[in-house]
Amino acid sequence: MANYALFDIETTIDWELLEQIEGCDRDEYLAFKREQAVADYGEGVIWIPHSYHLPIAIAVGLVEPTTGELTRLGCIKGADSETVCREFWNWIEVFQGDTRRGTLVSFNGRGFDLPVLELAALRYAIRVPQHFNEKFGNRYRYQEDWHLDVLDYLNGFGAARGLRGGLSLLSALVGLPIKHSQHSNLEEVDRERAQVWARNDVRRLYVVFQRLQFIRDRLKQLPALPELEDEDG
């Protein structure tokens, strides 16, 4: 079995940048997005473009090569966004830096997590040569050797659309509780709670990923469902 590293990020919104670019204050922007969400989906789900997101917590969990168990689950250390992002990118360069490189596993990593982290690298001037220069590496969509985006894979790389509920739905299909309704980055969230959310999402991703491996006959026995941390704080 390959050496897999599952990761998830939690973010906050750079409201100062958003207000500068959008030309309105936070309340006006949110009111507009709420109206737009109701018109598009019939409900008040608000999505802020990824360009305004700042990572504040990044969880990583390794899959043990022989047993398939989730091990060494934790969050990248750092007291601020720059430090967390810098440590993550430094780790990626090492994790995938030689012929024994591991494979990243994400849920919508190509659509959100990696674009947010790439903009953070641009913002903080973080050198990530391997990630950007490897032609068929993490950024190449139609492969799973460097980076397996579970959502993209299940959607047929864009052929299918409309998987409502996302990771919460898929993990609920296999027996885990859904995400708490307060799981949001629109308000200020302390770093400790964001880290809990990130670790729990890695656990959810692990269950869905291993179920995918099982139905593809790349895993012979399903692992036990992990326990989730209290997300209410």
3-state secondary structure of 22: helix
Cα 41 to its chain centre, rounded Å, is 23
Are the C-beta atoms of 58 and 84 separated by less than 8 Å? yes
191-215 vs 166-173: helix crossing angle, rounded to 10: 50
233 residues of the chain, pLDDT tens digit each: 458 999 999 999 999 999 999 999 999 999 998 888 776 655 667 889 999 999 999 999 999 877 888 988 999 999 999 999 999 999 999 999 987 889 999 999 999 999 999 999 999 999 999 999 999 999 998 988 999 999 999 988 877 776 777 898 898 898 898 876 567 777 888 899 999 999 999 999 999 999 999 999 988 888 889 999 988 76
CB neighbour class for 223 (10 Å; exposed up to 12, middle 13-18, buried from 19): middle
Are the C-beta atoms of 91 and 76 separated by less than 8 Å? yes
CB neighbour class for 7 (10 Å; exposed up to 12, middle 13-18, buried from 19): buried
Domain 4-215 sits in CATH at 3.30.420.10
β-bridge pairing 103-106 and 4-13: parallel
Q: What is the 8-class DSSP label of residue 59?
A: E
- d(CA 28, CA 24) in angstroms, rounded, equals 6
This prediction's pTM: 0.93
Both structure tokens of 225: 């469902």
Which residue is listed with tokens 């990243």? 104
**pLDDT score recorded for residue 152:** 92
**pLDDT score recorded for residue 96:** 93
Are the C-beta atoms of 140 and 146 separated by less than 8 Å? yes
Domain spans in the chain, listed from the N-terminal domain onward: 4-215
